[in-house]
Structure 1
Amino acid sequence: MAPDERSDVELLAAHVAGDAEAFGVLFRRHRDRLWAVALRTMGNPEDAADGLQDGMIAAYRRADSFRGDAAVTTWLHRVVVNACLDRLRAAKVRRADSLPDDLEEYGQRAVRSEIGPAPVADPAEEAVAHDRRAAVIDALARLVPDQRAAIVLVDLEGYSVAEAAEILGCAAGTVKSRCSRGRTRLAELLAHLLGDPADETPLTAGNPTAGRTVPPRSGPRAPPI
């Protein structure tokens, strides 16, 4: 079957007009990126699938509310992130205490270095890298939901602060503040991995991505909904 060449806006408009296939085409087009955001926001596949499904149901039902003031992809991400945050808030995730600002760079270094594939030389190093990634994912799950969403979008998915602000429906300064607080909290939770802040070896040795902005990448493919 030939790919549908209609634009995102055209597909959404067709869905509103009654095209039974248009929304499915739109979802499949952006599924991987939406799934990656849901997975990293929720922390596990089961909750991520629920959050993504909630978001897509909301988008399906509220498609006529789209006014074109943002890209369709931005709108879809906003709906999915909000659905995930609603689930996290319903689970009564507790607010984490903020820490001194001088820990921020180490929290940022940790989350960028440890999540996502990194080159390893042998099975022993691979096991250590796996344990570190698991520790970071667990720490990320302990953040305040709004901070977690900001870090997922900016540090893990590679969105700019302005793009993340548009998705989250808040000011760019708010996104920066949430990222800063989230990174400092991560620095505390991951202190056992960071070691001496003056020594970057524990997290950055052999990892060419450490300290750099992570480019956008697709996550695992989403389950059907």
Structure 2
Amino acid sequence: MGLSPPPARFDATFCEILPRLYRRAVMLAGSRHWAEDAVHEAYLKLAARPHRFLAHPEPYAYAFTALLSVVRDSHRRERRQVPVDEMDGMESGAAGAVGPVLAADWDGGVARRDAELEVVRLLKRLSYRQAGVVILVDLDGYTIDQAAEIMRVHRGTAARHRARALGRLRELLEGSQGHEV
């Protein structure tokens, strides 16, 4: 039995949330290449049942849940694999354009890329649920109740994950500041 292509409204709705979803995927996945794969996998999951995605009151939240699931599942698969040869320095990609900036302020996107890499580095030190709730509440502006609903956990569980994540982030930041002196 072949899958019928998703309706045009599905593609239009998904394309509207794609930039935001992609930015969050980079934060969760750690590399732009892997984020593209994760977003594509999430698209395929959603396209299998487009009516659920379109009927959801907040399509971004529904897509973020699918993305979080893809990232978590991929991480679990990777943990079971044994790496052959790890090559350091292979993740050096060019920074993307940020928008109109003044010539005197332009640094080629280096400062923004450094900030993005720092956020990714810090988020990778958290569990996927902790990172997910921090992204939803602190970066996307959802409430704890909304984040809990999106992630399909109890409100208290989401609040506990966020509290632990923020505590861990504070520890990491305090530790890094002590080493800069």
On whether the aligned pair clears a TM of 0.5, the verdict is yes
Three-state SS of the structure 2 residue aligned to 1:91 is helix
Quote the offset at 1:69 in angstroms: 6.2
Structure 2: state its 5+ residue gaps. 81-104
Amino acid at match of 1:34: L
Query: 2:146 corresponds to which residue?
Result: 163
Aligned with residue 61 of structure 1, among 25, 48, 52:
48
- Alpha-carbon displacement from aligned partner over 1:41-60 (angstroms, at most 9, x marks no partner): 21221121111111110000
Deviation beyond 4 Å, 4+ runs, structure 1: 16-20, 64-70, 126-133
The 5 A counterparts of 1:22-33 are 22-33=9-20
Quote the offset at 1:144 in angstroms: 1.2
The question of 1:178 aligning with 2:161 is answered yes
Quote the offset at 1:166 in angstroms: 1.8
Query: 1:97 corresponds to which residue?
Result: none
Quote the offset at 1:61 in angstroms: 0.6
Q: Distance in 2 between matches of 1:142 and 1:170?
A: 21
The question of whether the paired residues in 2 share the 8 Å contact of 1:161 and 1:175 is answered with yes
Query: 2:34 corresponds to which residue?
Result: 47
Amino acid at match of 2:152: G
Amino acid at match of 1:174: T
Amino acid at match of 2:69: N
- Alpha-carbon displacement from aligned partner over 1:168-222 (angstroms, at most 9, x marks no partner): 1111211111111112222222224445xxxxxx9xxxxxxxxxxxxxxxxxxxx
The question of whether the paired residues in 2 share the 8 Å contact of 1:37 and 1:81 is answered with no
- Alpha-carbon displacement from aligned partner over 1:82-141 (angstroms, at most 9, x marks no partner): 212222233339xxxxxxxxxxxxxxxxxxxxxxxxxxxx899x9788656533421211
- Alpha-carbon displacement from aligned partner over 1:147-170 (angstroms, at most 9, x marks no partner): 111111111222221221122111
The question of whether the paired residues in 2 share the 8 Å contact of 1:78 and 1:168 is answered with yes
Quote the offset at 1:70 in angstroms: 4.4
Identity %: 25
Q: Distance in 2 between matches of 1:163 and 1:89?
A: 26
The question of whether the paired residues in 2 share the 8 Å contact of 1:88 and 1:145 is answered with no
Q: Distance in 2 between matches of 1:38 and 1:29?
A: 15
How many residues are matched?
153
The alignment yields a C-alpha RMSD, in angstroms, of 3.4
Return the TM-score normalized by structure 2. Answer: 0.67
Structure 1: state its 5+ residue gaps. 1-15, 94-121, 196-201, 203-225
The question of whether the paired residues in 1 share the 8 Å contact of 2:26 and 2:120 is answered with no
Three-state SS of the structure 1 residue aligned to 2:79 is coil
Return the TM-score normalized by structure 1. Answer: 0.56
The question of whether the paired residues in 1 share the 8 Å contact of 2:22 and 2:35 is answered with yes
The question of whether the paired residues in 2 share the 8 Å contact of 1:140 and 1:148 is answered with yes
Amino acid at match of 2:46: A
Q: Distance in 2 between matches of 1:69 and 1:19?
A: 16
Cα separation, partners in 2 of 1:170 and 1:64, compared to 1, 3 Å: same
